[in-house]
Structure 1
């Protein structure tokens, strides 16, 4: 069984809803995971102890990371994620010029730190409806399939 962590930042509850659905998908295919709200203060170096990493963050303003994710993101600069598998998701607002930029920013940082990143970050417009919640569950399931290519 893989060791998986999911860390998310959510202000309005949209990304938290996504995180819950992604976690359901992971569990539906027989894996367990630790789910942590970024506000509870996880440290980036904790990621090194996991096989699978799921990160969720909403995009703030014109395409920035949310303030509550900034310290964690900065801490990621000094970790080594070689051999880890990761995926990123987040709620977005198409009213802004850069749609879901936080997802792209985090994916790039994970790659820089050596992680193999699931090629498609999941972006959902504002509050996930039933269809988007199902897409989140599917994302969790697909991540496990992606992760299992690592487990020997």
Structure 2
């Protein structure tokens, strides 16, 4: 069993719901999961002891939140190179944050990212069965990648 951290930013609760569904999928794949808001992570030391990371943030005004940007600077200091990763986000119109987070994890942090790419769902989709299943499947695939 591997340890996975899902760190997320959520203003309305939709991205938090996605994080919970992804955690379910990881647990279905036999992995241990910690679910934390990015505001609960004080520094890079709080990222120690994990084998995989999944970061999520909603898109606001075609961008990720300032809190997520600050969190990513902390994460960069943690030396996550070679770790398994994934990214997700919710949006109403455009959905830029999840791909930006994914690219940062892959190209800046040098993490081994899932070949599924970022999980990017509309807020309306998250509340339904299809959104729940998409998140669980994403988590399960990450869990299988961890072995």
Q: State TM-score, norm by structure 2.
A: 0.88
Which range moved further: 75-84 or 123-132? 75-84
Gaps of 5+ in 1: none
1 CA distance for matches of 2:15 and 2:141?
18
1 CA distance for matches of 2:64 and 2:75?
14
Q: Give 1:105-124 correspondences, 5 Å limit.
A: 105-111=100-106, 112-119=108-115, 120-124=117-121
Which range moved further: 18-27 or 78-87? 78-87
1:16 aligns with 2:16: yes
Shift, 1:44, TM fit: 3.9
1:126 aligns with 2:146: no
What residue number does 2:5 align with?
A: 5
2 CA distance for matches of 1:122 and 1:108?
13
Contact 1:8 1:57 in 2 (8 A): yes
Aligned Cα RMSD in Å?
1.6
Relative to structure 1, is the Cα distance of residues 26 and 110 closer, same or farther in structure 2, using a 3 angstrom cutoff? same
What residue number does 1:140 align with?
A: 139
Shift, 1:68, TM fit: 2.3
Q: State TM-score, norm by structure 1.
A: 0.86
**Number of matched pairs:** 143
Q: Give 1:87-106 correspondences, 5 Å limit.
A: 87-94=86-93, 99-106=94-101
What residue number does 1:68 align with?
A: 67
Shift, 1:46, TM fit: 3.3
2 CA distance for matches of 1:100 and 1:115?
22
Contact 1:79 1:113 in 2 (8 A): no
Q: Deviations over 1:23-60 (max 9, x none)?
A: 11111222111110123234345335311101111111
Contact 1:60 1:66 in 2 (8 A): yes
| Secondary structure, aligned partner of 2:80 | coil
Contact 1:44 1:73 in 2 (8 A): no
